[in-house]
Chains A and B, each alone.
Chain A
Amino acid sequence: MNFRWTSPGFFRNASVAMVIVLGLGVLFAGCGKKAPVETDEPLPVEETPVTPVDNTPVTPEPPKEDPKPDYSSMDPQEFGVEDVFFAFDKYDLDGEAMSILSRNARILREADVLVLVSGHCDERGTVEYNLALGEKRANAVRDYLVSLGVPSRNLRVTSYGESAPFAKGHDENAWALNRRAHFERP
């Protein structure tokens, strides 16, 4: 919670600083214009622009044009990252997986946020081998994303094997949904 609170605060402070800078810019522009003409009247002129400058920090307006949401408090799905799926007993990436991952890479480069890639398997096979297979899948995804420029420090991997299935069925439809690399908030 602490982290989630401070991060937007930082953005807010940044925009406040922008407003101050802009305000000061107006002030100096005014000064620059008037100061050379009448050396006696800087004080009354100064008063008017000073008031808005003082007010701006008091009104904590949320940043209207903030370009960057707080990705670290969101599930990766919320900012467009998609899971990828695997063939039975395989951990290599097919064409579809690679095109999903290149979209993911673009988003993750932009977001610059730590995500956890968890590898999953269908229920067939054993707990122990599936833990290894799940990790292979997660590693394949991480390695491909790194090759596309996602900083490796932003990618952690884990495996749940067959222990945390997404679909509960016992047929190929369910199995196909469970053979995946899932992106989650760490």
Chain B
Amino acid sequence: MKLILKTRMITALVVGLTLSQAGASGPSLAQQPEVGLSVTKTAFEKIDMLMDPLDVLSGGLAAVTDADSLQAVMDRDLRFSGLFSTFWSDDEVPGEAALQYTIEGTVEGPLRDQRLTGEAQPTTVSLNLLTYPERQLILNKRYRPLPDQMRATAHHFASQVIEMLTGEPGLTMTRIVFSRGSDKRRDLYAVDYDGANLLRLTANRRLNLCPSWSPDGQEVAFTSYRDGQQGLYGLDTATGQVRLIIALEGLNYGADWHPSGKELLLSLSHVGNPELYRIRPDGTQIKRLTVSPSIECSPSWSPAGRDVVFTSDRTGTPQLYIIDSDGAGWRRLTFYGRYNESARWSPNGEKIVYATREGDFTQVVLMKATGEDRRVLTDLSWRNCEDPSWAPDGRHIVFASDRTGVFKLYVYDVVEDSFRQLTFGSDPDITPDWSR
């Protein structure tokens, strides 16, 4: 994937290439949407979408509210992707923009007497994507959501639209898991990628940290002191059940799932200092990757699952290194700065994001996986910025910053070089991980 910063000639399609393609045999620039639409826009030129108000066929005020909510969520989804501009009427469209597509649809809410039965009745939602102004139908989806499924419905249709027009599903169905709280009481929470739908995942009144989604999203591996001693646990995201994965003496942390979902990478310190290990999801060991008296921590798989980027302080300061999955071929990646940590490999394998210290503050840095083109994304007005994690689109990065005095999560758009705040409130939020 040729996501070259500040290059104006890349097409919106190229920006959207997915993890699976990049993981195979390199980028396939010929990727086209199935409908064969010729989208040839630069990365900074967006697809212009008209949001046609949904027609409410029945269901009264409740259905009108649902229709508004559906449209508002889809609108945000399209804009947050960075690939679309949205307009709510032809009049708003500025001169240089040219509307290409429109979303329209109908909402049929349950009748009043059906509502009186007390049971939640589904609404029928039909959503269409059409060309504009020809109004040629490209995509039609019908849904039967219950009242609390409106957001999910909007996210799903937006995902379909984004995939159809850009070749990848976008982020609308993704979530971010993180640790919220202070001192020795921090619980795991998850939030939709747009900041909505905050859900608490643990409630053990202990320290819970460093969550990592499994590739299929069904389990979150995390480090917890729930039994006094530190251990790595797995949380079933459907049932909320927690199981022990491994709890050896010392540290059991920094887990990163292999792209196959069949193993995890983490630091264990039962031998006396943190070393990298590959383990199976049942906690049994596959391989120890490092043997040294120094600290080895914060491992992250390459998207192909063949290499590992991690931190070692073997030279006296924490620096980034790369090894292969057998632990061989140590290669130092960072030479600039005395503190480089928390590296995460981008979904297409070309870039690495990490945290560096500048003076008393930690900042987020993006560079090529070759170590070239180092660029600090944040500045000192952000105070400390830590724990960056990639969105699966390879374009957005979530990280924690205490710029307001308390750590909250922010999302950075690599292409537009812009930020938005993801979480709010007075409790510190740290160690985010974006689902795949």
Residues of chain A at the chain B interface (Cβ within 8 Å): 89, 123-129, 131-133, 135-136, 139, 157-160, 163-165, 186
Contact = CB atoms under 8 A, between A and B. Distances in A.
Nearest to B310: A128
B393 interface: no
14 contacts: A124-B360, A125-B357, A126-B298, A126-B362, A128-B254, A128-B341, A129-B341, A129-B342, A132-B251, A132-B273, A132-B274, A164-B183, A164-B207, A165-B183
Contacts of B396: none
A37 B22 CA distance: 108
Contacts of A127: 209-210, 386-387, 430-431
A159 B253 CA distance: 11
Given A127-B386, A159-B251, A163-B207, A132 B362 contact: no
Contacts of B1: none
Contacts of A135: 250-251, 269, 273-274
B253 A128 contact: yes
A49 B357 CA distance: 80
Interface centre among A124, A127, A136, A139, by most chain B C-beta atoms within 10 angstroms, is A127
B21 interface: no
Interface in B279-331: 295, 297-298, 311, 313, 317-318
Contact residues on B (Cβ < 8 Å of other chain), bracket? 35 or more
A186 B269 CA distance: 19
B362 A128 contact: no
Contacts of A125: 339, 341, 357, 362
B311 A157 contact: no
Contacts of A186: 228
B159 interface: no
A135 B296 CA distance: 12
B186 interface: yes
B267 interface: yes
A158 B355 contact: no
Interface string B319-356: 00000000000000000000101100000000000010
A179 to B, nearest CB: 14
Given A129-B341, A160-B207, A124 B184 contact: no
A94 B418 CA distance: 45
Contacts of B357: 124-125
Nearest to A129: B341
B297 A128 contact: yes
Nearest to A91: B295
A139 B272 CA distance: 8
A160 B184 contact: yes
A136 B362 contact: no
Contacts of A126: 298, 341-342, 355, 362, 386-387
B187 to A, nearest CB: 13
Contacts of B313: 129
A125 B359 CA distance: 11
Interface in B201-251: 207, 209-210, 225, 228-230, 250-251
Given A126-B386, A136-B273, A163-B184, A158 B229 contact: yes
Interface string B386-405: 11000000000000000000
Contacts of A128: 210, 253-254, 267, 297-298, 311, 341-342, 387
Contacts of B274: 132, 135
A32 B131 CA distance: 118
Contacts of B360: 124
Contacts of B311: 128-129
A129 B272 contact: no
B388 to A, nearest CB: 10
Contacts of A124: 357, 360-362, 384
Nearest to B361: A124
